[in-house]
């Protein structure tokens, strides 16, 4: 599915890809994004969806890097997780962007 960015988004930096089984220290729930939590993974402060965690560890590989995109950019959606999209931009970069910042296109 392709989407068009309607509200620019600034990511919080580039993160490493965390391996399945990496310990996760859960913190507070996000107030704006249901089922997402602040957390610490391998000394990195980030966010994670609740269903990526089981018994305090990641149950899959996870890279929390967000895409920095401007209005009008076109993205290819790779995965939808609650109110966030994992998407690839036209440069081939993959990262997260809030679904509220995009609209679907044909």
SS3 content of the chain, % helix, strand, coil (to 5): 5, 50, 45
Residue 18 maps to a domain: no
Shared domain check, 72 and 54: no
**Counted domains in the chain:** 2
Collapse the DSSP code of 4 into the 3-class scheme (helix H, G, I; strand E, B; otherwise coil) and give the result. Answer: strand
Sign of torsion, CA 66 85 25 62? negative
Range of the domain at 29: 24-58
Residue 79 maps to a domain: yes
Q: What is the pTM of this model?
A: 0.93
Mind listing the pLDDT tens digit for each residue in 7-58?
999 998 899 999 999 999 999 999 999 999 999 999 999 999 999 999 999 9
The answer to whether residue 93 sits within a structural domain is yes
In a domain, 89, yes or no: yes
């Amino acid at each position: 599915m392709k989407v068009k960015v309607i509200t620019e988004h600034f990511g919080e930096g580039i993160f490493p890809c965390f391996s399945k089984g990496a310990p996760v220290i859960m913190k507070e729930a996000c107030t704006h994004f249901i089922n997402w939590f602040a957390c610490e993974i391998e000394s990195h402060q980030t966010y994670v969806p609740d269903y990526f965690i089981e018994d305090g560890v990641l149950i899959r590989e996870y890279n929390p890097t967000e895409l920095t995109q401007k209005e009008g950019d076109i993205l290819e959606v790779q995965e939808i997780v609650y109110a966030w999209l994992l998407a690839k931009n036209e440069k081939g970069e993959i990262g997260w962007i809030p679904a509220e910042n995009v609209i679907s296109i044909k």
